[in-house]
Structure 1
Amino acid sequence: MHIAEGFLPWQHAAAWTAASAPFVIHGVRSLTRTVRADPDAKLLLGASGAFCFVLSALKIPSVTGSCSHPTGTGLGAMLFRPPVMAALGTVTLLFQALLLAHGGLTTLGANVFSMAVVGPWVGYGAYRLVRAVSSALPEMTSLGLAVFSGAFLASLSTYSVTSLQLALAFPDPSSGVLGAFVKFGSIFSVTQLPLAAIEGLVTVIIVRLLTTASRSELLNLGVLRRGGTSAAGQPTEDSRSGKAV
């Protein structure tokens, strides 16, 4: 998702910046409202932003000659909903462009759209769908499946959009945009498929740790169902107290 500085034609760079801007503005407002409504959420917000920054800063060479990165956006999207990750993801990409030379300022809008907009929404949608479908399963099993699916698809969808962005900018002379999309997607998929699976597993581990360290916050955010069981198989506060759920 780190399209390099100056790589896109200026018309495409401007168009993707315009497309990303409303989501970023809405994300900043959502982030502000979240902090005002629950000041205690600052720690988890910071952890979500740091998780995104660290994972997406990793630069892993691909066997095809390109480089791939985890995205880390799924965690924050599942905890705080996608608009918040539009803000946190933009800050992450901006700092990486300025400090790590990952991406660039002219391509920031395109990178934001793929990683901080589409990725979180796809990941959140997958998370909610799996949570609903697996509601009859034990709480931690349902949560683990949903978190893995969300993080996995958030990563894959980011690279799918990046492939489309590159295909639109550089269509294949013979097969056009579709042919270029298939070629770019094939290059990324060799490394990104296993990388997305690893990211999904890492995110599951982080969430399981949070169910112990930040249980009350996860209950307030709706990530944990009240009346479920903890990672260690112990009843939650609500189920122990006999409260109706």
Structure 2
Amino acid sequence: MHIMEGFLPVEHAVGWTLAAAPFVAWGVRSLRRQFVEQPEQRMLLGVAAAFSFVLSALKLPSVTGSCSHPTGAGLGALLFGPAAMVPVGLVVLLFQALLLAHGGLTTLGANLFSMAIVGPFVAYGVFRLARRLGLSLAVAVFAAACLGDLATYVTTSLQLAWAFPDPAGGFAASFAKFAGIFALTQIPLAISEGLLTVVVVNALARFNADELRQLKLFAREVKA
């Protein structure tokens, strides 16, 4: 998913940065509000950030200029809401760009938009829909993490197709090529991330039940 340094045209790099900026501001305010109300949740946020950092650093080569990997952003979106994952994702992507040469500073806005905005919002929405449909907690968590991961890669495919349309088939043909190549590695990775996220949520429900009950989305999900 991480589009590498200098790969996007300047206007696209600037455009995605500007598009992501309002979400960063919203996310910072969301985190501040949550920590004022529940300062003890900082440790749990650290777990969500570490989960995203580790999983998204496990990259596999994919299409030119990008790579495939889990995102780990779905867990944080379920715990703290999708807006809170935007500044968390910004820190994760910034550290990876500076320390691991994974992604880049010029493509930070594009990578942030796909992994820390689209992915978490899709994960959050899928979870709430799944629970309203009566699906079990485990199935809802799996679907949220899996589809949030896939949404990230669909967005990256759109970004790359927009920047590099196919000479013959245009945007649509380019998107089909990027998405098709990503699918070979990303579908199994998304399934794996969904399963791992279920394991982590189950562990948190067992060992950190009090903290989970203080979170809006899990207030009624964890038994006392």
| Shorter-normalised TM range | over 0.9
Aligned CA-pair RMSD:
1.8
In 2, are the aligned partners of 1:64 and 1:190 still within 8 Å (CA)? no
Which one-letter code corresponds to 2:68 in the other structure? S
Match of 1:180 among 174, 179, 182: 174
Following the alignment from structure 2 to structure 1, what is the Cα–Cα distance between the partners of residues 120 and 63? 27
- Structural mapping, 1:85-234, within 5 Å: 85-134=85-134, 142-224=136-218, 226=220
Structure 2 unaligned spans of 5+ = none
Instruction: Give the stretch that moved more between structures: 215-224 or 117-126.
Output: 215-224
The reply on whether 1:43 has 2:43 as its aligned counterpart is yes
* CA distance 1:128–1:64, change in 2 (3 Å): same
In 2, are the aligned partners of 1:160 and 1:185 still within 8 Å (CA)? yes
Report the CA distance between 1:64 and its aligned residue. Answer: 10
Q: Percent of counterpart pairs with the same letter?
A: 59
Following the alignment from structure 2 to structure 1, what is the Cα–Cα distance between the partners of residues 79 and 3? 27
Show the counterpart of 2:15: 15
Which one-letter code corresponds to 1:173 in the other structure? P
Show the counterpart of 2:29: 29
In 2, are the aligned partners of 1:122 and 1:153 still within 8 Å (CA)? yes
Q: Give per-residue Cα distances to partners, 1:7-36, cap 9 Å, x unaligned.
A: 000000000000000001111111111111
Show the counterpart of 1:5: 5
| Paired residue total | 224
In 2, are the aligned partners of 1:103 and 1:111 still within 8 Å (CA)? yes
Structure 1 unaligned spans of 5+ = 136-141, 231-235, 238-245
Show the counterpart of 1:55: 55
Q: Give per-residue Cα distances to partners, 1:112-164, cap 9 Å, x unaligned.
A: 000000000001100110011116xxxxxx11011001100110000000000
- Structural mapping, 1:60-79, within 5 Å: 60-61=60-61, 67-79=67-79
User: 3-state DSSP class of the match of 2:104?
Assistant: coil
Report the CA distance between 1:66 and its aligned residue. Answer: 6.8
In 1, are the aligned partners of 2:3 and 2:65 still within 8 Å (CA)? no
Following the alignment from structure 1 to structure 2, what is the Cα–Cα distance between the partners of residues 69 and 50? 15
Following the alignment from structure 1 to structure 2, what is the Cα–Cα distance between the partners of residues 23 and 132? 27
Following the alignment from structure 2 to structure 1, what is the Cα–Cα distance between the partners of residues 191 and 27? 27
Following the alignment from structure 1 to structure 2, what is the Cα–Cα distance between the partners of residues 176 and 53? 35
Q: Bigger radius of gyration, 1 or 2? A: 1
Report the CA distance between 1:223 and its aligned residue. Answer: 3.8
User: 3-state DSSP class of the match of 2:126?
Assistant: helix
TM-score by length of 1: 0.88
User: 3-state DSSP class of the match of 1:102?
Assistant: coil
